[in-house]
Each structure stands twice: as C-alpha cells, then as structure tokens.
Structure 1
C-alpha cells in the first residue's frame, strides 16, 4: 500500500511537470512536445558509404599494432583523410564489397618470402550495408604491391 501511494505521488508530480513544460515552452503553447517536433524525413538522397581503413603489423588486426588508419567517405562526394579518396572510391564502386580484388598483387610483383605479416582492414558501411574486411599480406612488400589505391596510405 505504501509503494502504491508513493508511485501515485511521483506520477502526479511527473504529470504536473509535463503540463508546466508544455505551457512554458516558447512557441508551443497548447501543443504537445511530439506535435512541436520536426517531422521525420530522409536527410539525404544517397546511400551511406564511409569506411575506416587500417594497416596493422601482425596477422591479427585485433591483437596487432595499428600502424596507420584513415577514413574514406564516398557519398555524397569523395572525402575523408585518405590521400586519394577519388581513386579509392572509384575502385570501391567498380568492385563493390569484393575487396579481395583490391588486395591482389600487381602482375609485375617480385617480393621476398620473408614472413613479417601486415594486415589491412576496412570497417564501416558500403552502399548502406555493414562491411568488415581483413586481409593479411606476408610482408610489407606484398602490401605495397597491390594494384589499387584503396590501401595505399
């Protein structure tokens, strides 16, 4: 019984506060807070495409040492901290979420067989869908020899 009386008291106080707020809010006299809010609309006409790209020393991006990271935004216009956002966005549009094509070595590549792994990652949203990608190269030469510019930073 005691808790019912206590909750009624708090409920009455909350209703009184709501009524005072509605009356005192400038420009909304008599209007409820939901009626005064702006209607929900789509803020843009493009599909979100923004990624965080990283290079990590080691064969596991979660346990390795992050050496470099950049942001890449492709919509509405290329941007971010990537050194060549226009080229990187063009590659992504051409290949979509199939990033293995962008980590393939160039045709004239010659690297040693030294095992000093480097892992590249891409995390974010591409064409409105979640994207999480990781690829491990045997060494820095393998990373530098990719044909594209997406991971060239």
Structure 2
C-alpha cells in the first residue's frame, strides 16, 4: 500500500512538473506558425483583372496578392476560434440567388492549421461567405 502511494505521488509530481514546459512549447509553436502564415488564392471567372493565382503572406505582410495588407487585416479581424475558411453548414437555409460564376480556391497554412477551402457565389450563403473575405477574395462583377 505504501509503495503504491509513493509511486502515485511520484507520477503526479512528474506530470505536474512537465505541464508548464508543454504549455510553453505549444505557445512557442503557435507564435512560430502565425509568424509564417502563407496562403495561395486562385480566382477564376471573377471579372476583368480579378482572376489569377496569388500568394498571400502575413507576419510579415507580402506576396503577389493585389492587397496583402488589407487581406491580412481582414483575416486578423476574424474572432478567435472562428474559422474564416469553414464551408457553409450542410443544414443552412440559404436564399436562392445567383452571385455570378466566380470561384476561388485557397490553400496553405493559417494560424498553424492547414487550409484547403473552395468558394463560389451560387446562393446567398456562399455569396455572404465570399463577401466576408473581401479583399482576400476580390469584389466580383456579380456583387
């Protein structure tokens, strides 16, 4: 019984003493990932001068994107815990409106997470989703 108590106490002390190190490592990894956020944005059928494939880098801001500072600022304003690239919920009720043929595909890394998201303007929910990311995505002729 005494042996079990000593082993349990030793295991608890070891677990507790390792916790701050793990928390610090996660924080450092998160900051490192955010320091190198990189996205590739491919846009088609959005209107004259809007189509193409653009690189977007944040922290530091750069890349071939037409408005990297505005795009990074838009993404940085997304509330903590909300995924700006999340698809429309399958059970969402969306207005039946057409916003044009524009499509976009965003890949890369944002806040340390892999991004692979597609965008279109085929109904009210998809139009709203697209518009929430302007200027990451361009304003379209259908907007």
- State the structure with more CA Rg: 1
In proportion to residue count, which structure has more helix? 2
Length-normalised TM-score, structure 2? 0.48
Length-normalised TM-score, structure 1? 0.45
